[in-house]
């Protein structure tokens, strides 16, 4: 479970205060995948980072009682001058997993050929996205944090393999996806929320959330 209690977060831009959350209280339960709809630039990444523990709230508390993933696309633990082979084996050891398994799983899923043994710093953004998604799927979490859906890749083979594995994982795991478009959430989530004026409005279904979101963004 992830529980936000009276959480406030804002950034000072030099001229104004950009409010992301204003005394927000909500909970993500294991077993109930949640989609959060919010327009670009309103705080999706900041909320996901707070859920992951990468960013601290200004006020309030965030409690985590499950194994929460790092956000999909987060490359913070990956060392650019090391290859995907070295990075995947190192991260496997950090999480107490078999390095041979994590390396071979990522090698198979990424499909980047000999680049898997080249420094990560030499990868294209698509290759980096595929590697970080492969790492996320190689490790086991109760709640997966995903910022804007799948990595920006046009590689159909990767999307097919990663999508199949993600769906298998979701039978047991829970996902939090933040996106500016409802279609990204449809694949993953049962319940949904809309971020508006620093508050998360929670709904039991995506349909209800879409009504408020479309009204706010188009109406």
Ligand X SMILES: Nc1ncnc2c1ncn2[C@@H]1O[C@H](COP(=O)(O)OP(=O)(O)OP(=O)(O)O)[C@@H](O)[C@H]1O
The residue written with tokens 């084996």 in the block is: 89
Q: Are 60 and 5 in contact (CB under 8 A)?
A: yes
Alpha carbon distance 129, 124 (integer Å): 9
Q: What is the DSSP letter of 70?
A: P
**Should residue 33 be labelled a site residue for ligand X when binding is judged by CB under 6 A?**
no
CB 40 → ligand X: shortest distance, Å?
4
Total binding residues toward ligand X, as defined by CB under 6 A:
13
Among 3, 8, 18, 82, binds ligand X (CB under 6 A): 18
CB 42 → ligand X: shortest distance, Å?
5
The rounded radius of gyration (Å) of the Cα atoms in the chain is 18
CA–CA distances in Å: residue 10 to residues 52, 58, 71, 105, 132: 17, 7, 20, 39, 28
Instruction: List the x/- string, 162-191, binding to ligand X by CB under 6 A.
Output: ------------------x-----------
CB 194 → ligand X: shortest distance, Å?
13
The residues in 41-80 that bind ligand X, with binding defined as CB under 6 A, are 41-46
Interface residues with ligand X (CB under 6 A)?
11, 13, 18, 20, 38, 40-46, 180
């Amino acid at each position: 479970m992830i529980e936000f209690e009276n959480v406030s977060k804002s950034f000072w831009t030099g001229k104004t205060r950009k409010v992301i959350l204003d005394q927000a209280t909500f909970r993500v339960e294991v077993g109930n995948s949640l989609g959060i709809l919010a327009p670009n630039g309103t705080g999706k990444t900041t909320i996901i980072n707070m859920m992951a523990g990468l960013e601290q709230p200004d006020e309030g508390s965030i409690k985590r009682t499950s194994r929460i993933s790092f956000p999909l696309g987060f490359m913070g633990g990956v060392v650019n001058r090391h290859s995907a082979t070295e990075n995947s084996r190192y991260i496997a050891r950090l999480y107490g997993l078999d390095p041979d398994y994590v390396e071979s799983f990522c090698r198979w899923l990424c499909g980047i050929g000999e680049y898997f043994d080249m420094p990560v710093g030499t990868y294209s953004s698509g290759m980096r996205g595929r590697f970080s998604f492969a790492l996320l799927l190689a490790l086991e979490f109760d709640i997966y944090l995903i910022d804007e859906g799948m990595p920006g890749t046009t590689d159909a083979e990767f999307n097919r393999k990663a999508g199949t594995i993600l769906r298998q994982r979701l039978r047991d795991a829970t996902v939090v996806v933040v996106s500016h478009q409802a279609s990204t959430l449809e694949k993953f989530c049962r319940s949904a929320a809309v971020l508006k004026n620093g508050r998360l409005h929670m709904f039991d279904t995506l349909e209800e959330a879409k009504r408020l979101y479309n009204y706010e963004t188009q109406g």
